[in-house]
């Protein structure tokens, strides 16, 4: 995961603060409960993205000979695969 747990907590706290300050938003749970839920959602998304990245690297590894033979742009191919896998999973990057 690319983000330390402390950073996730900090980000979740900032989101709760923004929600609390927005007059259009009415909070129906404690700030701590909301912070925990937001932190959990961030962690889940980061883990999903890590799984997608692993799947992309596996694909690239399996097709390494073809990629090299065809002299394909590896970074472009990596991005294309990532977008495709994310779309299949219904995950927005």
pLDDT one-digit tens code per residue, 11-60: 999 999 999 999 999 999 999 999 999 999 999 999 999 999 999 999 99
Predicted pLDDT at 2: 81
Range 66-71 average pLDDT? 92
- From the CB of residue 92, how many other CB atoms can be counted at a distance below 10 Å? 7
Determine the pLDDT at residue 1. 65
* Residue 90 pLDDT grade (very low, low, confident, very high; cuts 50, 70, 90): very high
Q: pTM (2 decimals)?
A: 0.82
pLDDT tens digits for range 3-22 = 999 999 999 999 999 999 99
CA distance 21 to 4: 26
Closest alpha carbon to 55 in 88, 24, 22: 88
Neighbours of 16 (CB within 10 A): 21
């Amino acid at each position: 995961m690319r983000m330390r747990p402390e950073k996730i907590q900090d980000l979740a706290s900032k989101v709760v603060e923004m929600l609390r300050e927005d007059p259009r938003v009415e909070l129906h749970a404690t700030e701590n409960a909301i912070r925990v839920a937001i932190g959990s959602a961030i962690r889940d998304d980061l883990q999903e993205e890590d799984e997608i990245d692993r799947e992309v690297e596996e694909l690239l590894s399996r097709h390494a000979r073809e990629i090299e033979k065809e002299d394909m742009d590896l970074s472009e191919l990596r991005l294309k695969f990532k977008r495709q896998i994310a779309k299949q999973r219904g995950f927005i990057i």
